[in-house]
Amino acid sequence: MERHDHELKEREDSIINISSEEAYCMNFHLNLKFDYKGKQYEATAYYQNGYGIDDIDIWDNEFQMLDDNMHDELYPQVRGYFEEMDISKKTITW
Which parts of the chain fold into alpha helices (H)?
A: 3-13, 68-84
Q: Which residue has the higher pLDDT, 39 or 90?
A: 39
Determine the Cα–Cα distance for residues 40 and 61; give it in Å rounded to an integer: 5
pLDDT > 80? residue 53: yes
pLDDT of res. 43: 95
Q: Radius of gyration of the chain from Cα atoms? A: 24
- Dihedral sign for Cα 10, 14, 15, 16, please: positive
3-class secondary structure, 47: strand
pLDDT (tens digit, 9 = 90+) per residue, 3-32? 777 777 777 777 888 889 887 778 889 999
Nearest C-alpha neighbor of 80 from the set 49, 53, 42, 46: 53
Domain edges within the chain: 25-89
pTM score:
0.68
pLDDT > 70? residue 1: no
